[in-house]
A = this chain, B = another copy of it.
Amino acid sequence: MEKISETYEPAPDDALDTSAVAQSVTHQLRRAHGQFTNRFLLHFSRLSLRPAEFSVLSLIAQNPGRKQSEIAAALGIQRANFVVLMNELESRCLTERRSAPNDRRSHAIHLTPDGESLLADARRAEADFEADCLERLGGTRARDQFLTLLRRLLG
């Protein structure tokens, strides 16, 4: 039996027109970064490592004994903000600031054994995380292209 009055359906649940915003690098970069950071924090919550902290540990491991400001500059982090990061890592006994031999102003940054150990754990966690990232992006070629494009945005 047919319905008596087949009223026109005005689609009350209509999807919004997002065309302007969907084409905006500004908007997409902000969203992608936000979601990405959240996933990272979730994935590394067991290790209590934030994205910036993981980058710091990685770079120190590859460049032990360098000055605090050298590490900061290589990561694109300002000296003032880097101090707080290092305080946090040092309070967890992951890094240490040794006195530099020829310049009493500067600190030579090193990982502690605890820091080396946590970094080893973190690198295993990162392998999973970057694999998920790789899958989302669509393979190594897409990932490399993505990294290239991100670098072009710098400077």
Contacts and interface: CB of A to CB of B under 8 A. Distances in A.
A49 B153 CA distance: 21
B149 A20 contact: no
Nearest to A61: B20
Nearest to A19: B62
A58 interface: yes
Q: How many copies does the complex hold?
A: 2
Contact of A142 (B17, B30, B70, B149): B149
Most buried by B among A21, A25, A129, A138: A25
Contact of A52 (B18, B30, B136, B151): B30
What size tier do the contact residues of chain A reach? 35 or more
Interface in A127-155: 129-130, 133, 136-138, 142-143, 145-147, 149-155
A13 to B, nearest CB: 10
A111 B48 CA distance: 43
Contacts of A40: 26
Nearest to A75: B21
A143 B24 CA distance: 10
A137 B154 contact: no
A29 B137 CA distance: 13
A32 B133 contact: no
Nearest to A28: B150
6 contacts: A16-B59, A17-B62, A18-B59, A18-B74, A25-B143, A142-B152
